[in-house]
Amino acid sequence: MKINPTDIAEKITKGNRRSLAKAITLVESSRRQDLLLAQEVLKQVMPSTGNSLRIGITGVPGVGKSTFIEAFGNYLVDEGHKVAVLAVDPSSPYTGGSILGDKTRMQELSRKVEVFIRPSPTGGTLGGVSRKTRESILLCEAAGYDVILIETVGVGQSEYEVSTMVDFFLMLMLPAGGDSLQGIKRGIMEIADLILVNKADGDLLQKAKVAQNDLKTALHFLKPKFDSLTTDVLLCSALTGNGVPEVWTHINEYTNHLKSKGLFNTIRNEQFVQWTRRMTEQLLVSDFWESERIDEEWKQATGRIRENKTTPLNECLNLLERYRK
């Protein structure tokens, strides 16, 4: 079937979910033809993008991310918002398996017409998955979703990646303090805009309060993300819903403060500039290695290096010169 990008773009901006899903499938496709079509759709919807809050959510498996997103998403819908949930799943590129893709998650939320949930794209490097997610964010915005939740697992590089595509980065933690805090990578706490101790209910409430205090103390020793804002630590129970509305209030106060300082859009624009830069670098590297001239030159270079006839830098410079010609 012939796909008409103008037709899809128009339907997306009218909020058509099937067209949105179709465009995301194009964005996720590895076929060059689809990729170009996706770019055409994106270009056309660009003026309708940007009207959302992009919120990253991370935390170790079992911390309660999907339970929280279910509770938070339902709350947002009750408040009149349209919510899209996307995922960046670091396990999928390497193992084909998925930590986040479980279909049974967020069951109530997924049935709501105001909600669009898309499992994480599979295949490709984290850089590839990241581009797909960034483009999917734009498509969801064009379709009228005004809160975009991007979930990722706090186990590696993916949370850094997600933090560079969102306006607000939320880190969920378990109610455990003291020694176990030392296992947390400082870097991750430094990129969080808010830390949320989940499962603050029943027998765990007391532990959660201790964890909150410990985390607040730990944050004192870290470099603040913004001079005029501090990373706060709040308690919540995704299971009972306690503390969920407060998270939304906090996110709004925080992002409104950034807007009042003129930082909100500056940060977004800078994220796009950096993304373009990194993508250019990635494309350049793959173009380099795919080039036939380099293929031949590389074989010769490795031969010379193995025979100790030259230095690696000399060969690098040769290869670059060959590539430029």
Q: Which residues bind ligand GDP (CB under 6 A)?
A: 59, 61-67, 198-199, 201, 204, 237-239
Using CA atoms, how far apart are residues 183 and 195, in angstroms rounded to an integer?
16
Q: How far is the CB of 118 from ligand GDP (least distance, A)?
A: 16
Give whichever of 138 and 189 is closer to ligand GDP, judged by the CB atom: 189
Tell me the C-alpha distance between 19 and 170, whole Å: 30
Query: Taking the chain, what is the end-to-end CA distance rounded to the nearest angstrom?
Result: 41
Nearest approach, Cβ of residue 241 and ligand GDP (Å): 9
Radius of gyration of the chain (CA): 22
Per the CB < 8 A criterion, the answer to whether 58 and 171 are in contact is yes
CA distance 80 to 75: 9
For ligand GDP, the closer of residues 55 and 301 by Cβ is 55
**Minimum gap (Å) between residue 197 Cβ and ligand GDP:** 10
Smallest distance, ligand GDP to C-beta of residue 201, A: 5
Nearest to 251 by CA among 144, 169, 152: 169
Contact 294, 146 (CB under 8 A): no
State which residue, 63 or 251, has the beta carbon closest to ligand GDP: 63
Nearest residue to 42 via CA among 9, 87, 86: 9
**Residue whose C-alpha is closest to residue 117's, from 128, 107, 129:** 107
Q: Could you tell me the smallest distance in angstroms from the CB atom of residue 96 to ligand GDP?
A: 19
Q: How far is the CB of 234 from ligand GDP (least distance, A)?
A: 13
* Three-state SS at 86: strand
Degrees to nearest 5, angle at CA 170 with 169 and 171: 120
The CB-of-15 to ligand GDP minimum distance in angstroms stands at: 28
Residue number with CB closer to ligand GDP (67 or 271): 67
On whether the CB atoms of residues 19 and 3 are closer than 8 A, the answer is no
Return the amino acid letter for 303.
G
C-beta of 88 vs 139, nearer to ligand GDP: 88
Report the residue closest to ligand GDP, judged by CB.
Answer: 64
- CB-nearer residue toward ligand GDP: 54 or 65: 65
